[in-house]
Amino acid sequence: MRTTARSGRRFAGRLKQIITVLATAGILSTLGATVATAAPAGGQQELMVPSSMGPIKVQVQWAARGGSAALYVLDGLRAPGDHSQWISDTNAIGQFAGDNVTLVFPVGGRSSFYTDWYRPSSTNGQKNTYKWETFLTRELPAFLSKYGVSRTNNAIVGASMGGNAALTLAAHHRDQFKFAGSFSGFVNPTFPAWNQAMRAAMWDEGMFNVDDMWGPAGDPAWLRNDATVQADKLRGLPIYVSSGNGVPGVLDLANGIGNTVNAMGLEAMSLTAAQIFRDRLAALGIPGRVDLVNGTHTWPYWERSLATARPMILDALGL
């Protein structure tokens, strides 16, 4: 009997060690286990998160001192399938390296506008329907909660395509997000002619069909996903919106002439949207910081906007 008890204790101890190792590696979470895992303070990690779209890679930098608050950071239209451009093209990681907030970088979703689509794109053979709102507000928070990340004390920011999404996701999920920021975002997609502008951009980036996303212009989905239309739902939420005016500067030198010209045109459109959004906030009596400055539609400016937003983000998260 003594030998059996001793063997049982050894087995239990060994099992506990195995669970700890697997949980630390993120394996149990990937398999959907319910084991709570302490996030490594300040470390970086790549996670594969189950979703209705299939496994989604998420790059994270854990809070410096193991805190539970998180900042979701969304990519632009050309979001790569293997990494976040915020990590490869900016110093976002370094900006928050000493802060007690987990940075969350979802990977992929090009031309998705980080929204729930009606159906798969009918023009490029897409197999799964984009369900990015579901992923960012249900599946991903549930997964991260196993690492001690809060479901309710989060901020969200995005550049270009991700800018409007950051605002609309925060508007519709106030229980999750305490701050929202848009950098050169197209924050008024129901503005005349924008349907066609988005159609052209999404066709250029992967032959995606905008009609499969929100239906034809005028469909209720367009209104639901328009940050300007939904502005009243942002009342009481700290907001930061930035846009350049299309005038190039020193930060554009590395872009090359062709890319800079394209970035100038895109930012002129972003400027118009930001002005409309600013005026909408003013009409509703909603405070929000809107910076309209020199610059174009490119990563060095969004890096600078994130640095400007950083103290506002930390304050909103109580850090």
Pairing of strands 70-74, 56-61: unpaired
CB 246 within 8 A of CB 296: yes
Residues whose CB falls within 8 Å of the CB of residue 156, separated by 6 or more in sequence, listed in order:
71, 72, 73, 74, 136, 166, 169, 170, 177, 179, 180, 181
Q: Point out the residues that are catalytic.
A: 160, 267, 297
Q: Phi, psi (5° rounding) for residue 79? A: -50, 120
DSSP element (H, E) containing 117: none
**Is the torsion defined by CA of 47, 237, 116, 276 positive or negative?**
negative
CB 41 within 8 A of CB 65: yes
CB hemisphere CA count around 118 (13 angstroms):
15
Distance CA 13, CA 158 (A): 45
3-state secondary structure of 204: helix
Distance CA 127, CA 117 (A): 12
Provide the total of helices (H) and of strands (E) in the chain, helices listed first.
Answer: 12, 8
Distance CA 189, CA 109 (A): 18
**Is the torsion defined by CA of 302, 307, 311, 313 positive or negative?**
positive
